[in-house]
Amino acid sequence: MVKKWQNVLSEDIGTFRIFKIRKDTSVSPRTGKQHGFYVIDSDDWINIIPVTPEGRVVLIHQYRHGNRELTLEIPGGVIDPEDASPAAAARREMIEETGYDSDDIIPLGVVSPNPAILNNRCHTFLARNVLPGKPQSFDSAEDIAVELFDLSAIADMIRTGKICHALVVAAFYHYDHYRLQNP
């Protein structure tokens, strides 16, 4: 049976805009040997699926430097220390990135984005009956365009790779499960 490893040392390697890098030295319970592992230490993230009263999903186009591509996503971001809760962070990010708002925000699920190298979680929310009307407020490093899609098109967009962000795919999985439980 696999056992939890014992961490014997953690060293901060560097601090960057939205994360830190640390090196953990841990002991294998199977071999007793020490090994070094690099961990991206980040605050938790949120993402939110905004759905209009007509059943359209508000998606955003933005450039991602990791894959050097334009991606199609749902709004999301880091939970800031001043956010009262993950739900408050989700609503803030939705307004900032899309200009849409709703008072009807429902938690859908939580995932670990990549537990091999990340220590954080991503909280997914649904915003029902979203309406435009708030001003968008981008960070200086964001360029975002908003586009609405029929909810019925999302599965095909994932299957064909038009939506390729793994956390967005996981969010729609949680949303599909929610819809099965709440027809």
List, for residues 115-139, the tens digit of each pLDDT value. 999 999 999 999 999 999 989 998 8
Do residues 148 and 71 touch, judged by C-beta distance below 8 A? no
Radius of gyration of the chain (CA): 19
Give start-end residues of each CATH 3.90.79.10 domain in the chain.
Answer: 43-181
Q: State the Cα–Cα distance between residues 94 and 98, nearest whole angstrom.
A: 6
Name the DSSP letter for residue 155: H
Q: State the Cα–Cα distance between residues 5 and 3, nearest whole angstrom.
A: 6
User: How does residue 51 score in pLDDT terms, banded at 50, 70 and 90?
Assistant: very high
The chain-wide mean pLDDT, for the chain, equals 97
- Cβ-based neighbour number of residue 64 at 10 Å: 12
- Cβ-based neighbour number of residue 141 at 10 Å: 8
Helices (H) and strands (E) in the chain, counts: 3, 12
Report, at the CATH architecture level, how domain 43-181 is classified: Alpha-Beta Complex (3.90)
